[in-house]
């Protein structure tokens, strides 16, 4: 489906639907995501897939700034600030799911 908002949540829900109809017996997954987006993705996938499927997370390092010193670059500050807002939003929205 065409999704413009909550794409990460929609991806987790689509995976859950596939797992429910698949003949595969998957007990765990590793989620590979971009840098600061990983924590939010991990939270949403764990919530949607529930206790039946263990979810791990692997974060790809950013090439735009030094993650351990994100505050010294404009790109780092923008990434952290926008993802912090998105994470908080996801927590509020996930309470309704």
Q: Are the beta carbons of 55 and 26 closer than 8 angstroms? A: no
- Tens of pLDDT, residues 65-75: 998 899 999 99
How big is the CA angle at 89 (ends 50 and 43), to the nearest 5 degrees? Answer: 25
Alpha-carbon dihedral 81, 1, 10, 79, rounded to 10 degrees:
-10
Residues 26-64 pLDDT 10s = 999 999 999 899 999 999 999 999 899 999 999 998 889
What pTM, to 2 d.p., does this model score? 0.82
User: Which are the contacts of 30, defined by CB distance < 8 A and separation ≥ 6?
Assistant: 55, 56, 57, 58
Two tokens at 19? 């797992």
């Amino acid at each position: 489906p065409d999704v413009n908002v909550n794409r990460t949540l929609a991806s987790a829900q689509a995976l859950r639907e596939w797992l429910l109809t698949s003949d595969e017996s998957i007990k765990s997954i590793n989620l590979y995501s971009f840098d600061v987006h990983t924590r939010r993705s991990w939270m949403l996938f764990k919530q949607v897939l529930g206790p039946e499927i263990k979810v791990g997370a692997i974060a790809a390092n950013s090439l735009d700034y030094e993650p351990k010193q994100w505050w010294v670059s404009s790109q780092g500050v923008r990434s952290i600030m926008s993802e912090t807002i998105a994470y908080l939003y996801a927590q509020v929205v996930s309470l309704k799911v």
